[in-house]
Amino acid sequence: MITFDQCASAYIAAHRGSWKNAKHASQWENTLETYAGLIIGAMPVASVDTALVVKVLNPIWQDKTETATRLRGRIESILDWATVSKFRVGENPARWRGHLENLLADPNKLGRVEHHPAWPWQELAEFMVQLRSREGVAARAVDFAILTACHSGEVRGAAWAEIDVEGALWTIPAERMKAGREHRIPLSSPAVEILKRMPRVDDLVFPGRRQGTALSDMSLTAVLRRMSRPDITVHGFRSTFRGWCAESVANSFPREVCEHALAHSLPDKVEAAYRRGDLLVKRTMLMQTWADFCAGKITG
């Protein structure tokens, strides 16, 4: 009667040592908890069949194709582990070839890019008033993500050891960055205030409900849904920031400063060769200007 969740925990524990960093294990845990847990988590692993696997995958197969395909592979691996461990028998209901490929659309034809709708930068100050009236760790994480123009995963995984509150600097190590390079983020005064109000109950700045676990991506998305904006994603606020950088008359910062703020590599190799620094001083001014705009202190 071992459950799917118990098998998932055992599988992750068995393979954690072979994964290159802790982020990989947390990605497994978060996606399984978010999308599979409520449907099959508490079920005996022997009872998980094709219909249940499709029930897990179908809601996100079209809109979050990349996430859904990774989830399918993870479920398949866990069910394989359960079979080898004698907790279930028969073929794997999460296998793709000759099986789920007949029930679900080809993910390659659906497209690999997940679209992240952006909040119009001209309306951001009004949104921030609403956001800051909400309580909870997830709401503060969304606020911090907007102020720092970071990915959701970078914020959810933020550790106190990475942050110099007094120096107003957040240094994300290379292993937690998509580009694989250390990224220093100057913190505006509102971002520092968020940190000062967060209780240090864990190594994580924005801890989840369970000790030692990060917030799930869905926790941040739920904040936006409760604000009646299910069409907007946390990632989309990076596009909001980029739009403000490009179009706002209040922003006179050069393009390379804005690109560094987003941890983007400069597309021109010659230009990049002359910009080997991370423009921290200029980015400090940029992020404070952005924070002032978010607070409605400057317009345009």
Domain segments of the chain: what residues?
4-110, 121-294
Domain 121-294 has CATH 1.10.860: no
pLDDT, position 165: 95
pLDDT, position 187: 97
Q: For the chain, list residues with pLDDT below 50.
A: 112-115, 267-275
Q: How far apart are CA 253 and CA 286, in angstroms?
A: 7
- Token pair of 224, please? 């936006």
* CATH topology identical between 4-110 and 121-294: no
pLDDT, position 125: 92
pLDDT, position 265: 59
Q: How far apart are CA 61 and CA 79, in angstroms?
A: 20
User: How many CA atoms does the CB half-sphere of 257 hold within 13 Å?
Assistant: 18
pLDDT, position 79: 97
pLDDT, position 117: 65
Amino acid at 284: T
pLDDT, position 116: 53
Nearest CA among 146, 144, 158, 241 for reference residue 194: 144
pTM (global) more than 0.95: no
Superfamily designation of domain 4-110? Tyrosine recombinase, N-terminal domain (1.10.150.130)
3-state helix vs strand vs coil in the chain, percent to 5: 55, 5, 40
pLDDT, position 197: 94
Bridge partners of 186, per DSSP, are: 169
- Token pair of 210, please? 């369970």
